[in-house]
Amino acid sequence: MEENIVNVYLSISFFAILGVLIRIELNKLESELYIYLPLILTNSIGCILLGFINNFKLVLTNWQYAFYIGLSTGLCGSITTFSSWNLAIFQDFFNLPSMGKYSYVNIVTGIVETVVSLTAYTSLIKFGSHLGKLIPFSSDIETTTTVIRREKPELNTKFIIYACLTLAAIVAAIVLAIVDDNNSKIWISCILAPFGACLRYILSFRNSMYPNFPLGTFLANIIGTLCLGIFFIFRFAFDKKEFLCHFLIAVADGFCGCLTTISTFINEIVSLNTKYLYFYCIVSIATAQIVLLITFGFYGWTSGLKNGMMNC
């Protein structure tokens, strides 16, 4: 099976836009419900969906590799987010930005949120796999070889479809970002989403360097968390200006949210041996928390966060 890299990037970009839209809408729904685990709705649905899609990896890859990567990396990876999940846990761990009284309750809350969320996600990705097995043409076989060609793509039907869908989605997002002032942060998120998702795909080629430690996903999650920590500071530090606030929120939701992923992270965890599973999981989360501690935590404790009020 051969696939041109341009088709892969186009597919990832299109599905990343769909993924970030789904995540934003699910986050709105979650805020209206009595759910106390951060981002549990979006990350759970993304994990179920990836578990389901994994059953059709062989079928989809042999049919359209770019389509499979678009669904798994672009859609599922962008519905879920590692960076925002870690930021929410960090805020509970260290009682930021409220700057109120700190106690053991914060530590217990952070630990419980982490353990319960990870338990739910690992269970749900397997649940999605069980659902996929109900479909007759699903397959447990995951090994297949695809040659990625990097030369100029052929002007065929496949390329035209991917190019038209992606171009239409990006143009629509740009137009809506200009004319729909109230929701411009959503549409800017859609514009930035492909950059985060495609960068994550590029980094995924580093996963094979260490069989028991997916380095590419680790780098994507930590880089995205670092960016989120920095841009989250800007939401407190900068004066409130409508476009600037929308842009900062869009970077968090669009670029950082799509650069980082829970679904792939959990998918890798369940595929590792027990010893390496815990090592990879603990190192990833601990590193993310340290990155947030150095960025947002340091800023919060040295600036006072203006009484915990966010400007954007």
What residue numbers bound the domain in which 49 lies?
2-308
Tokens found for residue 310: 């966010």
What pLDDT does residue 4 have? Answer: 78
CB of 78 within 8 A of CB of 197?
yes
Alpha-helix runs per DSSP H in 133-214: 157-179, 184-204
- Specify the number of domains making up the chain: 1
pLDDT at residue 136, rounded to an integer: 74
The phi-psi region of residue 272 (left if phi > 0; otherwise alpha if psi is between -120 and 50; otherwise beta) is beta
Nearest residue to 60 via CA among 139, 128, 150: 139
Element (H, E) at 147: strand 147-149
For residue 237, what pLDDT is reported?
76
> What pLDDT is recorded for position 104?
74
Tens-binned pLDDT, residue by residue, of the chain (312 aa): 667 788 899 999 999 999 999 999 999 999 888 888 889 999 999 999 999 999 888 888 888 889 999 999 999 999 999 999 999 999 888 877 665 666 678 888 889 999 999 999 999 999 999 998 888 765 655 555 555 555 566 677 888 899 999 999 999 999 999 998 888 999 999 999 999 999 999 999 999 999 899 999 999 999 999 999 999 888 887 777 878 888 999 999 999 999 999 999 999 999 999 889 999 999 999 999 999 999 988 887 777 665 566 777
- Report the pLDDT value the prediction gives residue 1, as an integer from 0 to 100: 60
DSSP of 42-80, one letter per residue? HHHHHHHHHHHHHTTHHHHHHH-HHHHHIIIIIIIHHHS
pLDDT of residue 95: 79
CA dihedral sign of residues 80, 185, 12, 205 = negative
pLDDT given for residue 234 in this prediction: 86
